[in-house]
Amino acid sequence: MIASNLQSSLNLSADPCEDFYEYSCGGWIRNHTIPPDMPGLSQFDVTRKTVKDNLRGKRETGLRVLKDLVNDWPMINNNQEIPNFLWWKEVARLNKGHGFSFILDNYVGLDDKNTSIYSIYVDAPSLGVGRTQLVKPDDQNNKRILEAYKVLIEESAQLLDGGAGKLSANIKADIQHVVDFESDLAKIMAEPSARRINKIDLQTFVNTYNIPLLDIERQVFANYATIDGNTGLIVYDRDYFRQLADLLNRTHAKDVKIIQNYLKWRTVRSLGTHTSKAFRDIRFAFNRVLIGVEEPPALWEVCVNLVNDRLPFAVGRVYVDKHFPEEAKRDMDVLIDALNKAFTELLDENEWMEKETKDKAKEKLVLKDNSFLATITTNDLWATKKKLTKLNKSNKDRSTHDWNRGPATVNAFFNPKLNRIRAHYDKFGNLYNWRDGVTQQRFNERIKCFINQYNGYNDSNAGMNINGKTTVGENIADNGGLRQAFRALENYSFRKQSLPGSMKSFTSEQLFFLSFANVWCSNIRDKALKRWIETDPHIPDKYRVWGTVSNSESFAKAFNCKPKTNMNPEPKDKCILW
């Protein structure tokens, strides 16, 4: 089956030295049509579908529950102001009860600078629509998305009103005020590259930013932890909080109902699809504009995703028992050992790192270890309580058992405070620059090569260039991972094995690179592609393949690529770090 699947993915008429992505994935792309309910289709999606099918084994109630939660929403209550309303109390209530991050994000996590303890984190919030759209509303594509967003708000209000005749008479103006306020929030958020952490106590935060965070935290952590002005916290987006109080004051002076409408809308946005098909239909209409999907996802897929997301380890236990035999676990252990050995070898061969820094890198390697909506809201409360009670929990043993993803998840991910593979974190996962000055300078010089390389990729379908700076971390990881994995292959005693049938002509080295590229085979709609390039720290799949193999001398050797072909540029143009 492996040989058959790999063979069907190929386009042997393409030149692997000019476009290895087309050579590896051309057949796959032709044979896989994007489902109408999805913005794109990748190998990850195909595997996720298999997992969901294995997990698969209607209720349409819940609208009343949602209406009870937001019954004082001015838009559906004759535009009446909510009496005695304080924005920070509503933010605290939603954060404690549901984990929502409106106006500010607030959560508990391992302390960046001391992973033996947990700390409170505050950050800029989530948004109801993309930051790019809100910051650049005059762009034609963004304007179209924002218009669809406003329609979504209005139709959501209409569904909750249910013909009661209590909709605000000025609902379109009210909605515009909400979108304008959200746009103002987006505009005071720092760019990702400008975000820096700052560890201070709660009282200093209140004094510095004039935000009643001490009151918020006392409400959020009531019955879970004792909070006072000396309680420490970590602030990420200081630029945001420097400007937030002024924005809130200006908005309140303009119309006290704007912030009320905004918080109630965000609640409806987060919970509405759990109530009825009508809510799911209007969300699909919005997504059709946003990412180009043609049909809504099947209800069973929505339910499987939701249960797996909210009860990941309960679902994972069942999935592992049925679909992950002990033999597969042993195979993965062998693979991980081989990768660790390869990384150590590449580290020893590294010429740009000082010995002191190499030794610290090796230390990091060694130390590793009622209604449906009512059900949703109960689960929100349980999950949030589980997170908040960590504030009093010690992590002195640097436990790595607190996984943040379940077993039935198709993806690759890491937490630098747990598995410690990031350069800015030491062997315990603490945020600390453990590299010496000379090594750091050489590192900074070498990553410029990757930034320039990926900046040069232009996608004709999107009409956009890749942003090499915002994606550099992931691009470095791709390149280093491929080199490490290939070294592990070279060390593998049975590597000369081949596949049967028509795939027998490929060497084990060629099969390695074909398998790597095959992981990234995908189709994507143009709208979704543009949004990907604008917002994602990963580059589109095609360029993940191009960039990594064109930097690999081993690839050029495996496929006998002549110098100066697209996939084998001159040595001076190849970027190598790890």
Asked whether residue 416 is assigned to any structural domain, the reply reads no
197 and 122 fall within a common domain: yes
Question: Could you tell me the two tokens for 398?
Answer: 């640097």
Q: How far apart are CA 78 and CA 72, in angstroms?
A: 10
Alpha carbon of 367 to those of 329, 432, 469, 484, 510: distances in Å?
21, 16, 31, 19, 34
The CATH number of the domain where 187 resides is what?
Answer: 1.10.1380.10
Q: Please give the tally of structural domains in the chain.
A: 2
Rounded Cα–Cα distance for residues 339 and 331 (Å): 12
Length of the chain in residues, anyone?
578
For strands 114-123 and 232-235, give the pairing: parallel
Distance of CA 132 to the CA centre of its chain: 16
Residues 105 and 237 in one domain: yes
Residues 152 and 230 both lie in one domain:
yes
Q: How far apart are CA 195 and CA 191, in angstroms?
A: 7
Provide the CATH number for the domain around residue 538: 3.40.390.10
Indicate if 13 and 126 belong to the same structural domain: no
Residue 181 included in any domain: yes
Are 188 and 244 in contact, with CB atoms under 8 Å apart?
yes
Judge whether 506 and 499 are in contact, CB under 8 Å: yes
CB 537 within 8 A of CB 557: no
Angle formed by the axes of helices 87-98 and 257-271, nearest 10°: 10
The closest of 211, 215, 290 to 249, measured between CA atoms, is 211
Indicate whether 24 and 165 sit together in one domain: no
**Based on the domain organization, do 441 and 518 belong to the same domain?**
yes
Contacts of 546 (CB under 8 A, 6+ apart): 19, 20, 21, 457, 566, 567
The alpha carbon of 140 is separated from its chain's Cα centroid by a whole number of angstroms, namely: 26
pLDDT per residue as tens, the chain (578 positions)? 567 778 888 899 999 999 999 999 998 988 888 888 788 888 878 777 776 666 555 344 568 888 888 999 999 999 999 999 999 999 999 999 999 999 999 999 888 888 788 899 999 999 999 999 999 999 999 999 999 999 999 999 999 988 888 898 899 999 999 999 999 999 999 987 778 889 999 999 999 999 999 999 999 999 888 999 999 999 999 999 999 999 999 999 999 999 999 999 999 999 999 888 899 999 999 999 998 888 888 888 888 888 888 778 788 788 888 888 888 888 888 888 888 888 888 888 888 778 887 787 777 766 544 555 665 566 666 566 666 676 766 666 555 455 555 554 545 555 545 544 555 656 656 655 666 778 778 888 888 999 999 999 999 999 999 999 989 889 999 999 999 999 988 887 665 677 776 778 888 899 999 999 999 999 999 888 988 898 888 999 999 999 999 999 999 999 999 999 999 999 999 998 87
Residue ending a domain, choose from 248, 269, 290: 269
Do 27 and 170 fall within a single domain? no
522 forms beta bridges with 42
Closest CA to 106 of 261, 215, 216, 192: 216
CA 407 to chain centre: 17
Q: How far is CA 369 from its chain centroid?
A: 24
Q: SS in 3 state form for 2-68?
A: HHHHHHHHCCCCCCCCCCHHHHHHHHHHHHCCCCCCCCEEEHHHHHHHHHHHHHCCCCCCCHHHHHH
Give the structural domain span for 195: 74-269
Domain end among 217, 243, 269 = 269
Asked if residue 337 is part of any domain, the answer here is no
* pTM greater than the 0.75 cutoff: no
Shared domain for 149 and 253, answered yes or no, is yes
Q: How far is CA 373 from the centre of its chain?
A: 25
25, 163: one domain: no
What is 285-312 written as a DSSP string?
HHHHHHH--SSPPPHHHHHHHHHHHHSH
Residue 92 lies in a domain: yes
Look at residues 250, 269, 288 and tell me which one is the last residue of a structural domain: 269
Verify that 449 and 551 share a domain, yes or no.
yes
